[in-house]
């Protein structure tokens, strides 16, 4: 089973600031997946990234970047030069690689990001 | 192409009544998931369908909850004798499924259920 902690309940930043959303997970699996989803005010979850546990390379996609540290069980998400459209709730979600329940995403409570113009 | 659709978008019901929520997955997606999201919380897994295999119902919170899926198409989530604690947004997701665990889940817009 997996567990995820997103310690930051709400964050407010001024537009163009950088912001990092923390994610710490717990798992007994040696291999697993990690996902980030965005939930804008409209409510529909949008997939952002997936990462498997044996690939520790950091990833950058435009203004988004992810820092995966297996040693500390963290998978943090940074938005550079934030924009108002980034305002949403962001969820980190681990998923088992195989076995019972390996199709389930385990969601944390999410971090609500507000970008102020 | 069309994404995952859910209906109704909003449902208000009285305590004790039964409700039925519908999900239309993306065409060709063999896997279908139901999640529940209470206000200010993350998503809780409810049930998973994969093709014609027996569904995994391990996340259903009580026997008042049930779900069906015909083949690889529409799914309905039924809540009998609704209680106020059932108030939440019910989200459906679908994915390509099959043996790959990597596949991305695509979510619908959800049904907001309010039990008075």
- Per-residue pLDDT tens over the stretch A106-115: 888 899 999 9
**Quick check: A99 pLDDT over 80?**
no
Rounded Cα distance between A43 and A71, Å, is: 33
A20-64: pLDDT as tens digits:
999 999 988 888 888 999 999 888 899 998 888 888 778 888 999
Neighbouring residues of A3: CB distance < 8 A, sequence distance ≥ 6: A25, A26, A27, A106
Judge: B42–A102 Cβ closer than 8 Å, yes or no. no
Specify the pLDDT at position A3.
87
Report residues of chain B scoring pLDDT below 70.
Answer: 1, 98-102
Rounded Cα distance between A14 and A116, Å, is: 5
Specify the pLDDT at position B54.
85
Q: Is the peptide bond before B105 cis (omega within 30 degrees of 0)?
A: no
Q: Which of A43, A96, A105 is facing B89, going by the closest CB pair?
A: A43
Rounded Cα distance between B11 and A67, Å, is: 40
For residue A4, the chain B residue with the least C-alpha distance is B42
**Quick check: A101 pLDDT over 70?**
no
Start-to-end CA distance of chain B, whole Å, equals 37
Q: Are B66 and B47 in contact (CB under 8 A)?
A: no
A68-93: pLDDT as tens digits:
998 999 999 999 999 999 999 999 99
Question: Which residues in A have their CB inside 8 Å of a CB on B?
Answer: 33, 37, 42-47, 50, 52, 91, 95-98, 101-110
Phi/psi at B15 (5° precision): -55, 135
CB pairs under 8 A between A and B: 55
Which of the two residues, A8 and A107, has the higher pLDDT score?
A8
Rounded Cα distance between A36 and A4, Å, is: 12
């Amino acid at each position: 089973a997996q567990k995820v902690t997103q310690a930051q309940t709400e964050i407010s930043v001024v537009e163009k600031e950088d912001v990092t959303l923390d994610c710490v997970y717990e798992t007994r699996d040696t291999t697993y997946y990690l996902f980030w989803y965005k939930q804008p005010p409209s409510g529909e979850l949008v997939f952002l990234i997936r990462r498997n546990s044996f690939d520790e390379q950091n990833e950058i996609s435009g203004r988004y970047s992810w820092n995966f540290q297996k040693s500390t069980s963290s998978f943090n998400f940074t938005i550079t030069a934030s924009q108002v459209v980034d305002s949403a709730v962001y969820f980190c979600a681990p998923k088992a690689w195989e076995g019972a329940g390996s199709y389930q995403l385990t969601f944390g409570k999410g971090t609500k990001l507000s970008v102020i113009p | 192409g069309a994404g995952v659709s859910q209906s109704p978008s909003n449902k208000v019901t009285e305590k004790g009544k039964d409700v039925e929520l519908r999900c239309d997955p993306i065409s060709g997606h063999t896997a279908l998931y139901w999640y529940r999201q209470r206000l200010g919380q993350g998503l809780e897994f409810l049930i998973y369908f994969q093709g014609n295999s027996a569904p995994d119902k391990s996340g259903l919170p009580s026997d008042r909850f049930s779900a069906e899926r015909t083949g690889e198409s529409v799914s309905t989530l039924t809540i009998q004798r609704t209680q106020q604690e059932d108030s939440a947004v019910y989200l459906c997701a679908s994915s390509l499924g099959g043996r790959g665990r990597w596949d991305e889940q695509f979510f619908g817009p959800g049904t907001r259920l309010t039990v008075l």
